[in-house]
Amino acid sequence: MLTNERTHIAIMPSPGAGHLTPLAELAKRLVRHPHDFSVTLIVVSIASSSPSSQHAYLNHLNSSTSIDVHQLPPADLSDLPDDVPPEPRFFLAVQRSLPNLRHSLATRSILPFSALIVDFFAIDAFAVTKELGIPGYLYFTSSCNNLCHMFYLPILHATTVCEYRDLEEPIRLPGCVPIMGKDFVEPLQDRKSTAYQIMIDLAKRYMEAEGVLVNTFEAMEPGPIKALEVPEPGRPPVYTIGPMVQTVGPVEDLSGSDCLRWLDQQPSESVLFVCFGSGGTLSREQLTELAFGLELSGQRFLWVVRSPAEKMSAALFAGGGGGGKEEDEPLDSLPEGFLERTRGWGLVVPSWAPQSQVLAHTSTGGFMSHCGWNSTLESVVNGVPLIAWPLYAEQKMNAVMLTEGAGIAIRAITGEDGLVGREEVVRVVKGLMEEGKEVKQRVKWLQVEGKKALGEGGSSYKALLDVTEMWRTPKKL
């Protein structure tokens, strides 16, 4: 039960494991020393798409920490056409949950708080902070490189007329890795769509935040972080507080033991971990190419296989419990004889693996990843280099940043047929596991720097202290 003795902060992520987890990790940090806040995590979900792993995670948070978890009734999005992308869905879920948030505040099932922290699709909740006269902060759970592009988006919108994918030159922002328009998130690829308009509105509304916290750290992206230190009228101050990654949760404890035991039997840094986030799925053809590529590479691997889906992000709403349809058996989609031929040196896990524990295991030497930001940071804090295989959301931008900026990944190249062919899989797997000396050294260095940033006196430690100090004595808006 919350008391009013400590400053009370509310944190509200938009739906999806990739948003909930980093905001919950921030909550865990804020209730501990030296911050000692009381924290309510306000959970927004979408009706009929809340995975069982999320329930387990929230129950675990509620029972094992002092964080108060308040679940708003799931938002009904059943009126939306199937082809509406995830980003506007997250935004609309939050928008439609605001009446319930107001009700919870009015009935005091959520106690008054001094500041509200939201993630990038939950920014509509600033309407409520304005009504309450308290500050609203944005927690940007992606890179500073991406944040710079979001700040710039309204200008790009106003100064161009063509689709971004048709821009011949990359967007070059101070300190940032140049990004081609075709690598922007899917909703930005069609200027006439509602999703596009929502993204532009979101980007404009970033300016309403009192401050922006970013889950990154100086050594990872010195260029964009420096660029954001230069004040710009109307732009909120930026605090880099990462790398904050998921600590072990109950889902892992239940499901993970087999693959961790298998890893125990493998030589040090010999295994490539293959996993495409909480929702990433491949097409049937792509799954087949990947399987043959892994087999041909002869490299030890641990692969989280999802049932194929024609659309890369189609499984996102199946969420943390795995992609594809729940009733599908993912392993049935693998080429005939694959499991037998790779037995002993390859392990396939259906749908879900305890990723943070796998990456922390000494046998893991590489990570073929969709480059979701949480996966990226989990790799960095464990000193594991990556093969960048972006699928959806801002992952193409992350892939560019990780290969050309941070220098900790090798990019898998998609062929003209839209597939990463088996030969390309062999190239990147061997390139990383056998030859990737530079990326390995670089990620080990970043691992050390990330630890320093979070440690007492480190840049991220100090930035979090700076911003939390303002929550204790908030200015009345």
The residue (of 97 and 374) whose beta carbon lies closer to ligand UDP is: 374
Shortest Cβ 373–ligand UDP spacing (Å): 5
Integer angstrom CA distances of residue 49 from 52, 313, 315: 9, 14, 10
Report if residue 382 touches ligand UDP, rule: CB under 6 A: no
Report if residue 379 touches ligand UDP, rule: CB under 6 A: no
Report if residue 215 touches ligand UDP, rule: CB under 6 A: no
DSSP state at residue 363: T
Q: Virtual CA dihedral for 197, 202, 203, 206, nearest 10 degrees?
A: 160
Strand partners, 275: 369
The residue (of 93 and 227) whose beta carbon lies closer to ligand UDP is: 93
Among 123, 275, 368, 420, binds ligand UDP (CB under 6 A): 275
Shortest Cβ 471–ligand UDP spacing (Å): 26
Shortest Cβ 121–ligand UDP spacing (Å): 12
d(CA 239, CA 459): 9
Instruction: Yes or no: say if 351 and 306 are a contact pair by the CB < 8 Å rule.
Output: yes
Amino acid at 200: I
The residue (of 295 and 394) whose beta carbon lies closer to ligand UDP is: 394
Tokens of 455: 């440690």
Instruction: Yes or no: say if 134 and 114 are a contact pair by the CB < 8 Å rule.
Output: yes
Shortest Cβ 251–ligand UDP spacing (Å): 7
Mark whether 83 is an active-site residue. Answer: no
Report if residue 375 touches ligand UDP, rule: CB under 6 A: yes
Using the rule CB under 6 A, give the single segment among 175-183, 271-279, 408-416, 452-460 that binds ligand UDP: 271-279
What is the number of residues in the chain?
Answer: 477
Report if residue 304 touches ligand UDP, rule: CB under 6 A: yes
Among 378, 394, 424, 449, binds ligand UDP (CB under 6 A): 378
Integer angstrom CA distances of residue 68 from 27, 134, 136, 190, 204: 10, 20, 19, 40, 31
d(CA 436, CA 418): 26
Instruction: Yes or no: say if 136 and 210 are a contact pair by the CB < 8 Å rule.
Output: yes
List all residues 6 or more positions away from 263 whose beta carbon is below 8 Å from its beta carbon: 271, 302, 358, 361, 363, 364
The residue (of 218 and 378) whose beta carbon lies closer to ligand UDP is: 378
Shortest Cβ 347–ligand UDP spacing (Å): 13
The residue (of 140 and 352) whose beta carbon lies closer to ligand UDP is: 352
Which residues from 136-155 bind ligand UDP, rule CB under 6 A?
A: none
Integer angstrom CA distances of residue 256 from 36, 273, 302, 353: 32, 14, 12, 6
Report if residue 288 touches ligand UDP, rule: CB under 6 A: no
List all residues 6 or more positions away from 441 whose beta carbon is below 8 Å from its beta carbon: none
d(CA 443, CA 413): 21
The residue (of 104 and 240) whose beta carbon lies closer to ligand UDP is: 240
Shortest Cβ 389–ligand UDP spacing (Å): 12
Among 188, 225, 227, 353, binds ligand UDP (CB under 6 A): 353
Report if residue 355 touches ligand UDP, rule: CB under 6 A: yes
The residue (of 181 and 354) whose beta carbon lies closer to ligand UDP is: 354
d(CA 84, CA 194): 9
Strand partners, 203: none
Which residues from 5-34 bind ligand UDP, rule CB under 6 A?
A: 17-18, 21
Report if residue 390 touches ligand UDP, rule: CB under 6 A: no
Strand 238-240, strand 346-350: pairing: unpaired
Question: What is the contact mask toward ligand UDP in residues 217 to 256, using x (rule: CB under 6 A)?
Answer: -----------------------------x----------
Report if residue 342 touches ligand UDP, rule: CB under 6 A: no
Binding residues for ligand UDP, rule CB under 6 A, total 19
The position carrying tokens 């989990």 is: 378
Q: Which of 8, 68, 119, 124 is catalytic?
A: 119
Report if residue 216 touches ligand UDP, rule: CB under 6 A: no
The residue (of 299 and 375) whose beta carbon lies closer to ligand UDP is: 375
Q: Which of 19, 35, 149, 370 is catalytic?
A: 19
Mark whether 157 is an active-site residue. Answer: no
List all residues 6 or more positions away from 44 whose beta carbon is below 8 Å from its beta carbon: 12, 13, 14, 15, 72, 75, 93, 94, 97, 122
Shortest Cβ 353–ligand UDP spacing (Å): 4
Report if residue 380 touches ligand UDP, rule: CB under 6 A: no
d(CA 148, CA 157): 14
The residue (of 20 and 156) whose beta carbon lies closer to ligand UDP is: 20
- Residues belonging to the active site: 19, 119
| Residues contributing to the site for ligand UDP (CB under 6 A) | 17-18, 21, 246, 275, 277-279, 304, 352-356, 372-375, 378
